[in-house]
Amino acid sequence: MSAPHEVGPLPDADTVLDLTSTQYEAELTYFIEHRIHHAPRSLQKALGPSEIGIECARRLAYKIAGTPEVHEGDGWLATIGTATHAWLADTFTAANTMLGQERFLLEQRVQIGSYAGEPVVGSTDLYDRVTRRVVDFKILGKTTLTSLRRKGPSTQYRTQGHAYGRGWAAAGHPVEKVAVWGLPRNSALADSHLWEEPYDETVAVAALDRLDGIATLVSSLGPAAAAVVPTADSYCSYCPWYRHGATVLTESCPGHPGSRVNTGRPSSVESLIA
């Protein structure tokens, strides 16, 4: 049995914090939220390949204009996805070792093009050198996974796949197909579904051209551009610029008309332990 490792003194070792279970949960949650909101992806300000296919032009206008976000959300579902992606990268790195060849290229950054002079660069999940496939992992809840199986990916996911395909092709790797692999977040692996189609560069180019148009409007009108571009039902509750009942569209958005939004989003617990 190994001996306990040495630890340093507590800042105030004689103080016992008499916390209720609610207060203690809030304290632990605070440290999780702090880590989430200071992670590299949370701090990223440039548009990446995962965003260029977002159907809502207003959300893209806010991002391009640098409009301050009105909320961050708690980021927990995205964190689950990030952690699972790291595990999958380790898994397919181990598969390379098992195969005795570097078949799978993992978590490599590629440039898929640019808009308004700004490069669009992102980290891809997997490129298979044997089958010439680009695979994007998605860790999905039951509803989205069912939709992927029945109707295929959203415009955003499909565009992201072809954008990564363009990045790999530009880096000199032949691309035959792009795939979105939906993996279940809360059920068995057997519920996963892989969607794929032949790589089509025009999908990525069209998305970049659309960004050029939005960027031109933002350059002309500034933050006011967000008020005149169209919206779309793109998971409004999770948009950083969504605010229930918003009326000043240069700052925030009330959501796409008719979309289902969650008006009961929980706020940060930081105030509970201040």
Residue with tokens 């969607």: 195
Of 182, 178, 200, 204, residue with least CA distance to 191: 182
Strands 177-184 and 133-140: parallel
Amino acid at 98: M
Where are the domains positioned within the chain?
A: 76-203
The whole-model pTM stands at 0.85
| Residue-by-residue pLDDT tens, the chain, 274 positions | 556 667 666 666 555 567 888 888 888 888 888 888 787 654 456 899 999 999 999 999 999 999 999 976 677 888 899 999 999 999 999 999 999 999 999 999 999 999 999 999 999 999 999 999 999 999 999 999 999 999 999 999 999 999 999 999 999 999 999 999 999 999 999 999 999 999 999 999 999 999 999 999 999 999 999 999 999 988 898 899 999 999 999 999 999 998 766 444 333 322 222 2
Q: How far apart are CA 198 and CA 160, in angstroms?
A: 14
Do strands 118-123 and 177-184 pair parallel, antiparallel, or not at all (unpaired)?
Answer: unpaired
Q: Which amino acid is at 171?
A: A
Q: Which CATH number does 76-203 carry?
A: 3.90.320.10
